[in-house]
């Protein structure tokens, strides 16, 4: 199977060495000289970040009915969480000076997509009471950082555009800053399985990205880690069997002015082993909707859906949403609160069935996110 059939764009053999030991639960990479900080930073100009085509895992089979959602923990492990954190006190001043053009552009724009927001949300006025029911295909969707107050507000500044290079050219997903200068995203955004079994190149994270502006700069990865179970997959992408393993964490280096990711924007908390039925803020940088039609200003703005998740299959969550390609790797936040240093990444977007108003992601457990972060030092 060529993964390009599923994610639409290709994947490039990364010039890396895979590091894994017999019986290891994770696989990591050792970056080659060709994938270093300077070359990655020089590659990702504002224009290239803006134009990088968005990808998504597409399950081409007929959707199966979800299981009954659980309101209790699905494993014997107790639900666990880590807290988010704030950036350095002088971060805004430092980055405002260093990236003056980005900040000026962002702070002088306001509501440029207001009409588009109204058009996107027309006919989708589900009440919060319905959203709380955890029903397949029920959600509220909206744009987030089209208004200047939100691009530099918590927890949205933790989220960003994740870009990388494939054989067909540059591509994009979404990701979130987490502790110890790491990001969390989907495994299919960093590693091609099963046809090539290699990490992609030129991987970089641009937090708080908005329509060509990068107010905190871009942070190149210095190494990524995926589950061995993801590397060992075969056949075609399946939401019911692949999604639970579709998680990756990456360590990132400093931006062009030498600032660390956590000093620049802070970090989101994480949670794992929670029940499948949770109210989530599901966000990312989609280019298309669930019907595979292009959105206005594709992959230029942070967009989100609010819905209560349901159990699709074992350790695979579903949640109603309108968005498609490009939202891959974007966070499902528990405890979302705008303008608050609050929110726990509880899943990341993996895939969808075209035409169905749901997204699917791995339920974070001790067998995926905890294993990865324990090995990586998140």
> Do 3 and 171 contact (CB within 8 A), yes or no?
no
Residue 332 to residue 361: CA distance in whole angstroms:
9
Structure tokens belonging to residue 146: 């089209």
**Is pLDDT of 316 > 80?**
yes
**Is pLDDT of 11 > 50?**
no
- Residue 297 is part of which domain span? 4-376
Rounded (10°) CA dihedral 336, 338, 342, 344: 30
Using one digit for the tens of pLDDT, what is the confidence trace for 286-302?
Answer: 999 999 999 999 999 99
Using one digit for the tens of pLDDT, what is the confidence trace for 205-258?
Answer: 999 999 999 999 999 999 999 999 999 998 889 999 999 999 999 999 999 999
Strands 344-352 and 57-58: parallel
CA neighbor of 344 nearest in space, from 1, 83, 165, 130: 83
**Is pLDDT of 85 > 60?**
yes
What's the whole-model pTM score?
A: 0.86
**Structural domain tally of the chain?**
1
CA neighbor of 301 nearest in space, from 159, 96, 133, 124: 159
**Is pLDDT of 47 > 90?**
yes
**Is pLDDT of 73 > 60?**
no
**Is pLDDT of 71 > 90?**
no
- The whole-number pLDDT of residue 61 equals 76
The model's confidence at residue 60, banded by pLDDT at 50, 70 and 90, is confident
**Is pLDDT of 101 > 70?**
yes
Using one digit for the tens of pLDDT, what is the confidence trace for 331-361?
Answer: 999 999 988 999 999 999 999 999 999 999 9
């Amino acid at each position: 199977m060529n993964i390009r059939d599923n994610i639409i764009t290709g994947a490039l053999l990364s010039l890396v060495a895979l590091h894994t030991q017999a019986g290891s639960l994770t696989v990591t990479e050792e970056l080659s000289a060709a994938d270093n900080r300077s070359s990655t930073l020089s590659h990702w100009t504002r224009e290239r970040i803006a134009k990088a085509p968005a990808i998504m895992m597409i399950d081409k089979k007929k959707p199966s009915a979800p299981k009954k959602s659980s309101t209790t923990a699905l494993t014997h492990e107790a639900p666990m969480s880590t807290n988010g954190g704030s950036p350095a006190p002088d971060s805004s001043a430092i980055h405002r000076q260093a990236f003056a053009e980005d900040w000026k552009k962002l702070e002088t724009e306001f509501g440029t997509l207001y009409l588009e927001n109204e058009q996107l949300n027309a006919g989708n006025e589900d009440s919060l009471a319905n959203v709380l029911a955890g029903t397949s295909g029920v959600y509220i969707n909206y744009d987030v950082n089209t208004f200047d107050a939100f691009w530099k507000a918590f927890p949205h500044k933790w989220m960003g555009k994740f870009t990388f290079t494939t054989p067909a050219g540059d591509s994009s997903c979404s990701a979130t800053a987490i502790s110890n200068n790491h990001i969390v995203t989907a495994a299919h955004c960093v590693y091609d399985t099963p046809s090539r079994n290699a990490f992609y190149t030129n991987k970089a994270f641009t937090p708080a990205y908005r329509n060509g502006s990068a107010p905190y700069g871009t942070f190149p990865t210095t190494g990524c880690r995926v589950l061995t179970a993801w590397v060992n997959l075969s056949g075609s992408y399946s939401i019911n069997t692949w999604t639970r393993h579709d998680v990756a964490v990456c360590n990132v280096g400093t931006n062009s002015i030498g600032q660390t990711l956590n000093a620049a924007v802070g970090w989101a908390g994480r949670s794992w082993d929670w029940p499948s039925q949770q109210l989530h803020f599901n966000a990312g940088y989609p280019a298309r909707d669930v019907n595979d039609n292009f959105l206005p200003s594709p992959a230029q703005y942070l967009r989100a859906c609010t819905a209560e998740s349901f159990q699709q299959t074992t350790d695979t969550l579903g949640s109603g949403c309108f968005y498609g390609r490009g939202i891959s790797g974007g966070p499902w936040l528990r405890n979302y609160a705008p303008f608050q240093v609050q929110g726990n990444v509880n899943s990341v977007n993996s895939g969808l069935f075209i035409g169905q108003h749901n997204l699917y992601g791995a339920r974070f457990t001790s067998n995926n996110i905890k294993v990865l972060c324990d090995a990586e030092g998140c």
